[in-house]
Structure 1
């Protein structure tokens, strides 16, 4: 096992430092170590705020509850217990919906791969109560998207995306979002792993490498380990790792990775830089043990630069999804561009010159006049984000 290059953590808060200590897989979480942090002017309100923001309260509650330290305020433990129990109910609800949706899609001969949700919790943590999820993410073949949309409608889900306004929506988007009319469960139907993935990650190839998870006495299909690492690292990188939950996933997945297979995977699909970023952050923040054979992934200048840059977002309580807060927009824009390859940057900038659903909704134009959206885009963006915000 190796340690990744060190990054400067000297300016992180005492509350974040304590949170990271709890999340590490250590045996020294005892009264003495808690006292060290508690005596350093611990702001418990900030600690609970960080724990909830990073969506790691199930693990934090379980570890602190096991210690039962008198140094942890009773109201903090009660709040953690409340959110832990609420998450169990949420995960049970998602599991019930996942079972129902997968059954109906299967009835229509639509194959499904579960990307996150309860199956990921089982796959990485062994217990669905140990991880949080706000929605279900289901990957399927691009050819099955319209039929899946019909199934979701029959199940009482309403489409939240106005994709019908754009004729090439499958090329410009990578998922559709649905919300149930009664129980408010959110479901995303994906046909690509991420916005930039190409035919190299076709559904049939992912299906051929899939893993299975047993839940509710039935098997659900999920990504194979190498595909899952690529997907989780890419997802976390695109969101600048502003939630520690995503790094916890990387930490739990790392021991399951076959280094030889992963190097072959990188040669075929790329992804070394954002995977290296994930490993460097996990090593520094969570003390994750990186296999020695993966040394070249972390010994990468771009990966180290990305890891240092993303600390800006980890150390603050910020929201970057679905849109970044105004206070960090410029930081996030520069970070996003630094993450991309030259070709991806060019495609990203070109895509922003083309009309999108928001433009068409704000200023509907007949199709022959769609070319006007290009010069009008800066004005429409300004109206949406500045005037109407």
Structure 2
């Protein structure tokens, strides 16, 4: 890493710093044991909250379980052990269901790639217990969505009808549909894109050609090719502001693996996320001591990547949760700006053009029969102004 560049971590809590120090521990690195400063005045209850928020309790437990009580209080280790065991059972449960889902869809001639869950834990950590997951994420061709839904519903899954759409904008504004099995208590996210649009992405057929077979189950389970997986992990993590350290730990783990850097460079440039790759590597290096190889240096020279990496530190300064509404207004505004800064010039153009496409809210303001939905295009500016005006009046207290 460039010795002249360092991330400003001055506003990060000492408990988060300690969390990072524990994550850096390995058999040959026990610097922490000789550095009492990082252990002074630690709020261990807050530390435990951080491990839960960042979904790092399993990895942390594996790092600290053998440390003496003078370093980590017994109640902390006991709490982490309980969460670790709970997660292990959850991942075993998901593993069994993963195999069933793979077999079910494959036997119905639907190609499926598993994105996260136990298969990712095995791929990156070599142990399903060391990564947390609350659901299964699969990727299938968009043309198979209707058939897949019928199959899943017949198996007892229920669809979460949260997507509102007009003129088929769901195909690019969204990227997955959620199903839940009430008896098995399994949540399954069926993706047709890796990330929401509008942005250029690899075609499913290309991803399928580069797929790999996992050894986690007897029945074949397919995962993304290593370079495609890296792109998925960085774009997913960046889209969420790296607000959970688990996503950055995934980067730390995959960077230890044999990546075809020339192939990756071509793909990152093609899908306009070279700078996001740089952001991820910088964060992983600075926070988790990921070794920077000669092949990685080309990705971290960019000033854009450095600025993006520093901007992401905001999400570590507090336990920011982007998944639970309502998100505080200041956090929401910062996140909107950060998402925009992640876009390439072409992506920004597509982003602005996307506003010209009708939104479901337009149909709510002015319901029209399906055969007249094309009128939402010319009406879009007027409907947008109307919604903003009504929102302003409501906030002002004149229409309660």
TM-score, normalised via structure 1 length: 0.90
Does structure 1 conserve the Cα–Cα contact (< 8 Å) formed by 2:125 and 2:131?
yes
Matched, 1:242 2:252: no
Bigger Cα displacement from structure 2, 363-372 vs 272-281: 363-372
Rounded Cα–Cα distance in structure 2 between residues aligned with 1:105 and 1:132: 25
Instruction: State the match for 2:104 in structure 1.
Output: 104
CA contact (8 A) 2:362 2:384 kept: no
Q: Does 1:202 align with 2:203?
A: yes
Contact 1:115 1:223 (8 Å CA) reproduced: yes
- 1:183 is matched with 184
Question: Superposed, which structure 2 residues align to 1:256-275 within 5 Å?
Answer: 256=257, 257-275=259-277
Aligned residue for 1:45, secondary structure, equals helix
Counterpart contact for 1:118–1:128, Cα < 8 Å: yes
Which residue pairs with 1:81 in the alignment?
81
Question: Counterpart in 1 of 2:341?
Answer: 338
**Residues 172, 198 of structure 2: 8 Å contact kept:** no
Pair 195,75 (structure 1): closer, same or farther in 2 beyond 3 Å: same
Contiguous gaps of at least 5 residues in structure 2? none
Task: Determine the structure 1 residue equivalent to 2:229.
Answer: 228
Label 1:330 to 1:50 Cα distance change in 2 as closer, same or farther (>3 A): same
Change (3 A) 1:374 1:219: same
Contact 1:34 / 1:71 at 8 angstroms: preserved in 2? no
CA contact (8 A) 2:252 2:290 kept: yes
> Is 1:374 matched with 2:375?
no
Report the Cα distance in structure 1 between the residues aligned to 2:179 and 2:360, rounded to whole angstroms. 16
SS at match of 1:215: coil
Cα drift, residue 241 of structure 1: 0.4
* 2:214 and 2:221 in contact (8 A); partners too: yes
Residue aligning to 2:280: 278
Give 1:55 shift.
0.4
Residue 199 of structure 1: how far off its partner (Å) = 6.5
Which region of structure 1 is more displaced relative to structure 2, 48-57 or 212-221? 212-221
Distance in 2 (CA, whole Å) between partners of 1:312 and 1:385 is 29
Residues 82-113 of structure 1 show CA distances to partners (whole Å, capped at 9, x for unaligned) of 11111111112211221111111112100110
Query: Following TM superposition, by how much is the alpha carbon of 1:196 offset from its aligned partner in structure 2, in angstroms?
Result: 3.3
Name stretches of at least 5 consecutive residues in structure 1 with no aligned partner. none
Give the corresponding residue for 2:256.
255
Which residue is 1:174 aligned to?
175
Q: Note closer, same or farther for the CA distance 1:384–1:50 as it changes in structure 2 (3 Å cut).
A: farther
**CA RMSD of superposed structures (Å):** 2.7
Once the two structures are superposed, the pairs formed by residues 258-337 of structure 1 within 5 Å of their partners are 258-321=260-323, 324-337=327-340
- Tell me what 1:132 maps to: 132
Structure 1 residues 154 and 4: alpha-carbon distance in aligned structure 2, compared to 1, 3 A threshold = farther
3-state SS of 2:66 partner: helix
Count of aligned pairs between the two proteins: 385
Could you tell me how far apart the structure 2 residues matched to 1:383 and 1:79 are? 50
